[in-house]
Amino acid sequence: MQKRTLYIGNLAYTAVEEDLEQAFESFGVIEDIKLMRDRETDRSRGFAFITFEKESEAEAARAMDGKEVAGRPIRVNDARQKQSTGKSQKSFNSFNQ
């Protein structure tokens, strides 16, 4: 992921996008907030991703690490690219032939 995107962890399950927007808007222009939700219950899964317009804004927002949002101290880290499982479509297809 880009260095403009932060991983926000340890969120309260009651947290909503507006809580994150209010907590982080003072650091700069927020392009996107993705609060991860449970597919069945639509409840927060306890983490989110916030993308800022500029890398310097994301850097400043790292100061929120350990601060309280929606009643819980949050964790703020650089977001990382999702690791691939190592399985390729080709190997799956050859298994089924």
Residues of the chain above pLDDT 70, percent: 82
Q: Where are the domains of the chain?
A: 5-81
How does pLDDT run across 14-41, given as a tens digit for each residue? Answer: 999 999 999 999 999 999 999 999 999 9
Q: Are strands 5-9 and 75-78 parallel, antiparallel or unpaired?
A: antiparallel
State the Cα angle at 62 between 61 and 65, rounded to 5°: 115
For the domain made up of 5-81, give the CATH fold: Alpha-Beta Plaits (3.30.70)
**Among 15-24, 53-62, 75-84, where is mean pLDDT lowest?**
75-84
